[in-house]
Chains A and B, each alone.
Chain A
Amino acid sequence: MRRASSKVGEKLAPYVLLAPFLFTLIVFFGYAFVRVVYFSFTTYDLFSKPEWVGLKNYVNIFRDLDFTRAMKNSLTFMVVVTTAQTIIALLLALLLNQKVRGIRFFRAAYYMPSVASSVVVTLIFIWFFQRRGVLNFVITKFKEYQAIILLFLFAAAAIHIVLVVWEKLRRRPVSVFEPSFMFLGVLIGFIVAFGAVRFGFLVPREVPPVDIIWFNTTKTWPDFLGSLAFPIPLGAIMLFNIWTTAPTFMLLYLAGLQDIPRELYEAAAVDGAEGWHIILHIIAPQLKPITFLVVTMGLIGTLQMFDQVAILGSQAPRSSVITLAYYIYSNLFPSSAVPRVGMASAAAMFLALLTFIIVYAQRKVLGEEGENA
């Protein structure tokens, strides 16, 4: 008898332990999801009874100009930000995987944008992107010193190329991106540029302050892309979104890099591989599961982008920055109109389906290794 009751207890125990989480999942996700599916087929304004309208909301969202803009903005945002943040995160992780003194400080410093609250970061960037803000000031200074900067870059590149070619001619093994030659090139380039200014060969140009309107504009960029060009305010949001998310993914890549067995590098070195060969044939395949995770999280995160657009508020025209998540929110809680819960629910269902399809397609593209992630 006692054995039977202990068996029942043993079987029940996992469900009891899971109960709080199952409760949260069923009430706040399962029930909410079913309600959203139901509301997406009704007209409902939070005050009167919902009325069944069938697929009308799904047809109407595609007739709404705001929805098509939101979809275009969201897809552009997804493609640009996910690509940029994945590449930047990998490059940062490769840089921070060095065994040099003080590397922990740099890892912490680079991770700062991800730790900071997105409200704080957005406010700092709103301030940076003002017409008389830091970014326009930096661009003004760049224009002022353009000739000097170009001379510096040209001299640095020339010295670097000469040194690499010289070493190659002497049949010495040297990488095209040899850091010591880069350092020497930068040092000599700086001396050349400084000398040119000091002896009056080059002087900073007088230019009027750059007056780029980053937020309060409906202009798009780059012009040659035609209808694929994105609104400038959305570009500004992309810039600071990449700046805040790349360090998070950098951390994942860094963990992945430190997991690669040392023997693989040693074997590659014995075979004469170096530089790009190691990155392409050792690091990239070993990091494939991490890349799958990073790209998946990036796609989901960018499709759900909401907070930065919401904080930006009236600083930018709605049509230039609206995303699908913000479209859903603004239909559910419009500032001075009756809530359109049915439309918002239909858009939410569409966003969920779109996210699912994109992540599934990405899983197919990245292949079997990715599926193990």
Chain B
Amino acid sequence: MHNLRARRWANVAAVYAFLLLLSIVFMGPFVFAFLSSLKDNPTEWPPSLLINQLRPVNWGASYRLAKQGGGNGFLGGMGPGGSIEFEVTYWTPEGQEPAPPEVVIPRRVQGAPPRRWP
């Protein structure tokens, strides 16, 4: 009796496993296309299911930066006198001393049009 019940559950599990596997075949391309539509570069190689825009860590980081820059975590922007954290990771050839990067944010004069960067 116990054996029969176990086999019945295993049968149900096999059917569900098969159904789920085929769901990937029929739904997979749509899901992948949708997720890729959120990426900066949908044709990246190798393709990945990790979407930076969907990672809560990045939401938190962007909220913090927006808060530091403009005082409003949701709307962002850069206000005068704001101080924001700047983190960068870069590679240098082996044996070469990494030079600390320097970032210059041009000072805006009131009324001047925003500078267009190349």
* Interfacial residues, chain A to chain B (CB-CB below 8 A): 92, 95-96, 98, 100, 103, 106, 109-110, 112-113, 116, 124-125, 127-128, 130, 132-134, 137, 178-184, 186, 209, 243, 247
Contacts and interface: CB of A to CB of B under 8 A. Distances in A.
B43 A130 contact: yes
Contacts of B12: 100
B74 interface: no
B43 A132 contact: yes
A141 to B, nearest CB: 9
Contacts of B14: 179-180, 182-183
A113 B26 contact: yes
Nearest to A114: B26
Among B8, B19, B33, chain A packs the most CB atoms within 10 A around the CB of: B19
A373 B33 CA distance: 39
B58 interface: no
A1 to B, nearest CB: 66
Chain B binding surface SS class: helix
A134 B30 CA distance: 13
B51 interface: no
Given A100-B16, A180-B10, A180-B11, A109 B46 contact: no
Nearest to B45: A132
Nearest to B34: A124
B112 to A, nearest CB: 43
B27 A137 contact: no
Interface in B9-45: 9-19, 22-23, 25-27, 29-30, 32-33, 42-43, 45
A110 B11 contact: no
12 contacts: A92-B22, A109-B26, A109-B27, A112-B30, A113-B26, A125-B29, A137-B47, A179-B14, A182-B14, A184-B10, A209-B46, A243-B25
Contact of B30 (A92, A106, A116, A184): A116
B23 A106 contact: yes
A56 to B, nearest CB: 47
A106 B46 CA distance: 30
Contacts of A98: 15
A178 B7 CA distance: 9
A180 B9 CA distance: 8
A106 B29 CA distance: 16
B33 A137 contact: no
A113 B31 CA distance: 12
Among A98, A100, A109, chain B packs the most CB atoms within 10 A around the CB of: A109
Given A127-B43, A132-B43, A134-B47, A109 B13 contact: no
A55 to B, nearest CB: 47
A218 to B, nearest CB: 25
In the A-B complex, the 6 residue pairs with the smallest Cβ-Cβ separation, listed nearest first, are A180-B10, A179-B14, A183-B14, A132-B45, A180-B7, A179-B11
Contacts of B6: 180
Given A100-B16, A109-B27, A209-B46, 20 more contacts: A95-B18, A96-B19, A106-B22, A106-B23, A109-B23, A110-B26, A112-B30, A113-B26, A116-B30, A127-B33, A127-B43, A132-B45, A137-B46, A178-B11, A179-B11, A180-B9, A180-B10, A183-B10, A183-B17, A186-B17
Interface in B76-106: none
A163 to B, nearest CB: 10
Contacts of A133: 43, 47
Given A109-B26, A180-B10, A183-B10, A134 B32 contact: yes
B26 A137 contact: no
A183 B13 contact: yes
Given A182-B14, A247-B26, A137 B19 contact: no
Contacts of B46: 137, 209
B98 to A, nearest CB: 30
A112 B18 contact: no
A110 B23 contact: yes
Contacts of A134: 32, 47
A215 to B, nearest CB: 15
A132 B47 CA distance: 9
A137 B43 CA distance: 12
Contacts of B30: 112, 116, 124
B45 A137 contact: yes
Nearest to A91: B22
B29 to A, nearest CB: 5
